[in-house]
Chain A
Amino acid sequence: DAGVIQSPRHEVTEMGQEVTLRCKPISGHDYLFWYRQTMMRGLELLIYFNNNVPIDDSGMPEDRFSAKMPNASFSTLKIQPSEPRDSAVYFCASSSNKLAGTYNEQFFGPGTRLTVL
């Protein structure tokens, strides 16, 4: 399996522009997570989905952030408009809870390094 795939790997944009980050989870996984990592705040959960349905978006910082999961193999995180304080590494992770009695491991993608100038 190719693992969790994220694109782009690097994004540099100017303040006010729209940014879209993409994630393809591991095939068959039913949970998808979006995290943000910064030196100041560490690794923070933004939102997670189960079977394509958003379960907890309490970590989404503000209305400028939105996330969608139109199908089991694709999710997007959009920032509109972007601000310099959004600069961070954004990780997508996926996991499977389909096997009863087994530990539900989260597998992380390589991340998207976002710089907002």
Chain B
Amino acid sequence: QKEVEQDPGPLSVPEGAIVSLNCTYSNSAFQYFMWYRQYSRKGPELLMYTYSSGNKEDGRFTAQVDKSSKYISLFIRDSQPSDSATYLCAMRTTNAGKSTFGDGTTLTVKP
């Protein structure tokens, strides 16, 4: 079993929909939780990070971490066609060093 499991998708939604992307993990030592966005044929780019449990909001994006359930989510409100990409969750135990990635969920937002 992988250390980080991500809902595989793919996901296709109409423009304006609310999107929920989710990951679960098994390593209770993870402290940093990240969401990356990867456009086709590009490298991943950091979208948001959260330290420990709680919520973090940035514009239309909200990241949630529930360490008791070992579950993290990314919500996208008012989704736009430009949000169409693959979203990867990632986690690590310290502020430096290796991150463990989920396999990614491909999202398509249709106009």
Real complex partners, A and B? yes
Interface magnitude class on chain B: 20 to 34
* Interfacial chain B residues near A44, Cβ < 8 Å: 101
How far, in Å, is B25 (CB) from chain A's closest CB? 14
In the complex, are the beta carbons of A104 and B101 less than 8 A apart?
Answer: no
Which residues from B are CB-within-8-Å of A18? none
Interface residues of A in 37-53 (CB under 8 A from B): 42-45, 48, 50
Partner of B46, one of A33, A97, A106, A113: A106
Are B43 and A111 in touch, CB under 8 angstroms?
yes
B49 touches A103 (CB 8 A): yes
**A103-B49, A108-B44, A110-B43 are known contacts. Are A42 and B96 too (CB-CB below 8 A)?**
no
- For chain B residues 78-111, which have a beta carbon within 8 Å of chain A? 88, 95-104
Contact B98 A48 (CB under 8 A): yes
B19 to chain A, nearest CB (A): 20
Tell me if B60 is interfacial: C-beta within 8 Å of chain A. no
Q: How far is the CA of A56 from the CA of B98 in the complex (A)?
A: 8
Residue on B nearest A9 in the bound complex, by CB: B41
Return chain B residues, CB-CB under 8 Å to A95.
96
B23 CB, nearest partner CB in chain A, Å? 12
In this assembly, does A105 line the interface, its C-beta being within 8 Å of a C-beta of chain B? yes
23 A/B residue pairs, CB under 8 Å, sorted by A: A4-B43, A31-B97, A42-B103, A43-B88, A43-B101, A43-B103, A43-B104, A45-B99, A48-B98, A50-B97, A55-B97, A56-B97, A56-B98, A97-B95, A97-B96, A103-B49, A103-B51, A104-B96, A105-B46, A106-B46, A106-B99, A108-B44, A110-B43
Chain B residue nearest in CB terms to A59: B98
